[in-house]
Structure 1
């Protein structure tokens, strides 16, 4: 992949997207974009997984993608404490294909001083799934930030009205869909390639999520227990897996000529191909028979200690505010772990004063062990943990 964007005063996503019509996805130059999109006062910081891999830890350690960091000069102090509140692991599985997972994390201060952050995981599949996931990773932050619907309050990158943010995320995903269908045009290896996408945006006490596929986001809250060391974690799933056997998903697929069997969507014409998802980006061959790229978009409150009954008791006993965290991961985590397994794992680490980075490592390690215990060929494992 080469740089598709040169230094300029204006960013034109639609112009760059035209280059994808030829079937050659290209990456954006975020080293330049970060300074075009943000002022120094925003203290912006962006993490992207790169194609470069390194092996970490002791044998039998798996290769992991190196995480690139792009930031403004004013964000230097943010990097020093980043591991306390953020963990990101993108680990290769045992398949012969490249690691097809990708992820990004972006944070900045808006004009009112509120911290805004975005977290996203993509899980590619098919012959060129690694390119498809990387394409979404590169373009989605830009499409969200430059969505005209967000420009409703002077000076603010993200407006205070939650409905406006909800609508903007939906619109950005629609544009991402168009771009991905171009990238998934002929030849056949592109038509058979796609990616999931689970996305979160936190702003002013609200958490907006959008999901296409079976990657997943869950919100965990450490609740007061009988003692300081007692683990009690509230688990709130924020997304649902899009699977062909779901009643509503199956009805849409069969109405468009797709065949659902063995938990997959099959085309009704040669070459017969199957996909174990009912929604995805790309995958133009099965999108013709009902697979969708329309996301589920939701908005949730980020509850402080004073906003729940149990938490109120904690406040009165001087226990302080509750600690919340978001776990976003590809299905390499969810294949053998439940949402509550994940939040319990992360919660236990945070309860023992571990960092978000250490919690993400532990979640990835537990997922890896579950694959080994099942005797299955390990999938790529990607997880992001954000302490809120």
Structure 2
């Protein structure tokens, strides 16, 4: 059997290869990075210092618009509708005539009452004159005193009758005025619920029309009684402070209503069917964009938390059970996991309400692969990194 041996390399090539390996080994051992446990380079991380901030506690509630004022146009006398003076869907002012009911019967009643009043006045004048004539005769005992007493009583009864007839005339005039049905309030009137020729009655169930005032306009919001009770307890304990009463609206299409509103009051009772409390806010509505009955979303700062800590959302991580934690730098410059409560955001930051205290160094940069107990080199976040320019080939100390 014949064995083929590899050709021998020249001595010069062996020496060059050996020197190259030694040079690479020397360069690897000359690294300037700090070494951690096990000879690994210490990870450089960026941190921020936890600082308490005043953060609002926004409440997002579903609501529905309600007219500021609503009035039903109802007849107060009975009669046939002769005219309609308004345009359906237009804006009407308080006192503006809307319907005309046939006034014939009421004009006749006024004339009759006026005549009755004139008759009563004439009777009263005669009775008064008779009593005046009987007075001196009774004093002279020319007539019986009883006759004078009867004449005086008749005069007083006649004056009372005059007052009764005057009141009857006033009532007839009022009923005649009611034949013209005016607008009780200013606002937008809907469709006419009665046509010309229909019989209107003071006791009818349906109104003639409906007027709604929509500038300003109310928004009734529903909040859970449990949430409201929890908020009141926090306010009583001093954990949070009362917020602002300014409210902003979001429309059904997601757009923002430009004009802010103000919370006016909340109900003192809880709805037994829904377990909610109604809060009412008032909004200006000069352009009539908000119509009664619309569904909207109201957002307002119901309270403020003065002890909240804001951190970047990327620094908040989640365990398998969904609980939140952050990595902090401990006193030995090692990474440590810290369980926190961060269930909401504010602007571009996550709000931490528990788990951190003032002065903690929260790691926000260099989190990839970072584990509990890893030795780190903490640096304030966003510190500019110094990068040395590349050296020319064949020059420098390591060449």
Please give the TM-score of this superposition, normalised by the length of structure 1.
0.17
Which structure has the higher relative contact order (CA within 8 Å, separation 6+)? 2
Which has more helix, going by share of residues?
1
Please give the TM-score of this superposition, normalised by the length of structure 2.
0.16
